[in-house]
């Protein structure tokens, strides 16, 4: 199943469990708008290259479309549609007044210089300036995009439209209107959800954790979890995986990756084939979609999975894990800390306010705890898996505000 097929099946399953009527489910399967563009970029060599780009706007019943921009050589429209649908559900479960959208650019950013990246970001802003905006569609970073790209897009948008509020995009650098706490928000949100549910998930104190993906979400989560007393036994990135069943020295691993561009070879860390198959209590997929599939799910030993990545588990693998009694805290809740602090940034920009790191964290705690409790309550009331429960909460909230046609 492709990510888009998976997302659509999830809407149908949760829609039925929530008792929604057929028309509401159909409307939630519908994508409002998608724009395809071809971005011309002057390369350092003097030549011109064109990059395919997409913006998908799925649903805005609860507020402006909201979702990141992914730069990846394999990103395609099917994937961006799925990610947009998941954003709608995520904003609703997190209880923030935003809808769902997503963007993608087909590019391998590792091949671009900083100047080329800036020209690509500015070309993106020019191509999509008509459809984005503080009250229309508010992008953010995703895989391979950072505050630098957000700042360039914001700057270009402000030149085109004159809107200098910064609220057109989130994940900006702090001096340029970014929120304190946004850089760690996804991982911090995942930790808050984990802490809210830890006893119910029956995780032992000092639980052993394996993390797939060592970027913004996974790398930060590993550090926060280690500081909170969890034992990080394995981590991986796109180049390889390392493990130490007695616990990895994360500082040494981060230093090794900084110096050598890979985790492999870090001190006291044995290279392993597959991070997903390492013996652990809690598995954190924090890389890309479809990482846990029918062909590798047999190796998974964890009893709990907390999905920091979007769509890391295929539907087939999900069913197998359910039948084995593995509890999966779904992406729509587990990684919603990122969009929640993005919304805080948007709110600060639109009201010209600046919250302290403590204020941001307190508000995030409140949102994550409430969302986790609501999901668990629905899981028990309807006797459905956590993923279905999270989606039921989201879809009921969406159905309540469905505009008349």
Residue 360 contacts residue 344 (beta carbons within 8 Å): yes
Choosing from 12, 66, 90, 102, the catalytic residue is 102
Distances (CA, A) of 303 to 33, 44, 284, 300, 348: 39, 50, 11, 9, 39
Distances (CA, A) of 45 to 114, 123, 155: 13, 18, 25
d(CA 137, CA 167): 10
C-beta of 27 vs 361, nearer to ligand NAD:
361
Q: Output the smallest distance, CB 275 to ligand NAD, in A.
A: 7
| Joined tokens for residue 395 | 């879809």
Q: Output the smallest distance, CB 224 to ligand NAD, in A.
A: 13
d(CA 28, CA 355): 34
Q: Output the smallest distance, CB 188 to ligand NAD, in A.
A: 10
C-beta of 181 vs 218, nearer to ligand NAD:
218
C-beta of 15 vs 291, nearer to ligand NAD:
291
In the shown chain, the binding pattern of residues 215 to 244 toward ligand NAD, with x for contact by CB under 6 A and - for none, equals xxxx-----------------xxx------
C-beta of 177 vs 213, nearer to ligand NAD:
213
Q: Output the smallest distance, CB 217 to ligand NAD, in A.
A: 3
Residues 6+ apart with CB under 8 A from 230: 206, 207, 208, 209, 282
Q: What is the torsional sign of CA 99, 105, 109, 115?
A: negative
Measured at the alpha carbon of residue 247, what is the angle toward residues 331 and 262, in degrees to the nearest 5? 70
E strand intervals along 10-155: 33-42, 48-59, 65-72, 100-106, 137-141
Residue 234 contacts residue 210 (beta carbons within 8 Å): yes
Residues 6+ apart with CB under 8 A from 60: 32, 99, 100, 137
Please report whether residue 338 would count as binding ligand NAD according to CB under 6 A.
yes
Q: Binding segment for ligand NAD among 73-81, 213-221, 242-250, 298-306 (CB under 6 A)?
A: 213-221
Q: Output the smallest distance, CB 213 to ligand NAD, in A.
A: 3
C-beta of 18 vs 317, nearer to ligand NAD:
317
Q: Output the smallest distance, CB 249 to ligand NAD, in A.
A: 18
Residues 6+ apart with CB under 8 A from 331: 86, 90, 307, 308, 309, 310, 311, 312
E strand intervals along 43-87: 48-59, 65-72
Which three-class secondary structure state does DSSP give residue 266?
Answer: coil
Interface residues for ligand NAD in 269-328 (CB under 6 A)? Answer: 286-288, 308-310
Task: Out of 133, 177, 213, 330, name the contact with ligand NAD by CB under 6 A.
Answer: 213
C-beta of 137 vs 289, nearer to ligand NAD:
289
Task: Out of 61, 128, 152, 214, name the contact with ligand NAD by CB under 6 A.
Answer: 214
Q: Output the smallest distance, CB 356 to ligand NAD, in A.
A: 21
Residue 184 appears among annotated catalytic residues: no
| Per rule CB under 6 A, count of chain residues that contact ligand NAD | 22
The partner residues of 327 in beta bridges, in order of sequence, read 304
Task: Out of 6, 60, 186, 340, name the contact with ligand NAD by CB under 6 A.
Answer: 186
Q: Output the smallest distance, CB 131 to ligand NAD, in A.
A: 21
Q: Binding segment for ligand NAD among 38-46, 153-161, 210-218, 361-369 (CB under 6 A)?
A: 210-218
Interface residues for ligand NAD in 106-165 (CB under 6 A)? Answer: 142-144
Interface residues for ligand NAD in 65-94 (CB under 6 A)? Answer: none
Closest CA to 306 of 288, 325, 332: 332
C-beta of 168 vs 284, nearer to ligand NAD:
284
C-beta of 27 vs 58, nearer to ligand NAD:
58
Distances (CA, A) of 58 to 23, 30, 147, 391: 16, 7, 24, 16
Name the closest residue to ligand NAD (Cβ). 215
What's the burial of 114, exposed, middle or buried (CB within 10 Å: 0-12/13-18/19+)?
exposed
Residue 338 contacts residue 186 (beta carbons within 8 Å): yes
Task: Report the catalytic residues.
Answer: 102
Binding-site ranges for ligand NAD (CB under 6 A): 142-144, 186, 212-218, 236-238, 286-288, 308-310, 335, 338
């Amino acid at each position: 199943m492709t990510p888009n097929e998976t997302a659509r099946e999830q809407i149908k399953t949760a829609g039925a469990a929530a008792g929604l009527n057929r028309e509401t489910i159909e409307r939630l399967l519908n994508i409002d708008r998608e724009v395809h563009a071809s971005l011309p970029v002057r390369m350092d060599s003097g030549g011109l290259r064109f990059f395919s780009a997409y913006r998908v706007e799925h649903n805005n019943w609860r507020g402006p479309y909201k979702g990141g921009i992914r730069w990846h050589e394999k990103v395609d429209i099917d994937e961006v549609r799925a990610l947009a649908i998941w954003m709608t559900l995520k904003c609703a479960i997190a209880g923030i007044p935003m809808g769902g959208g997503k963007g993608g650019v087909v590019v391998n950013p590792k091949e671009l210089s900083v100047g080329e990246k800036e020209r690509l970001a500015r070309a993106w802003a020019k191509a999509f300036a008509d459809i984005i905006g503080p009250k229309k569609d508010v992008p953010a970073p995703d895989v391979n995009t950072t505050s630098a790209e957000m700042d360039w897009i914001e700057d270009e948008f402000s030149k085109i439209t004159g809107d200098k509020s910064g609220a057109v995009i989130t994940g900006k650098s702090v001096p340029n209107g970014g929120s304190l706490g946004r850089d760690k928000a996804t991982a911090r949100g995942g930790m808050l959800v984990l802490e809210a549910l830890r006893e119910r998930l029956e995780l032992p104190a000092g639980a052993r954790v394996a993390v797939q993906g060592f970027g913004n979400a996974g790398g930060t989560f590993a550090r926060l979890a280690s500081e909170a007393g969890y034992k990080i036994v394995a981590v991986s990135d796109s180049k390889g995986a390392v493990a130490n069943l007695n616990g990895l020295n994360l500082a040494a691993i981060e230093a090794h990756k900084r110096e050598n561009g890979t985790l492999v070879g870090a001190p006291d860390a044995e290279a392993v084939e597959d991070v997903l198959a390492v013996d652990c209590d809690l598995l954190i997929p924090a890389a890309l979609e479809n990482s846990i599939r029918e062909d590798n799910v047999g190796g998974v030993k964890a009893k709990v999975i907390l999905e920091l990545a979007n769509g890391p588990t295929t539907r087939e693998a999900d069913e197998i894990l359910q039948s084995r009694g593995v509890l999966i805290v779904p992406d729509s809740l587990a990684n919603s800390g990122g969009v929640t602090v993005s919304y805080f940034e948007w709110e600060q920009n639109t009201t010209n306010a600046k919250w302290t790191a403590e204020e941001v964290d307190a508000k995030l705690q409140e949102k994550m705890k409430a969302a986790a409790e609501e999901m668990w309550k629905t899981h028990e009331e309807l006797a459905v898996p956590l993923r279905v429960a999270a989606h039921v909460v989201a879809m009921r909230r969406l159905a309540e505000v469905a505009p008349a046609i």
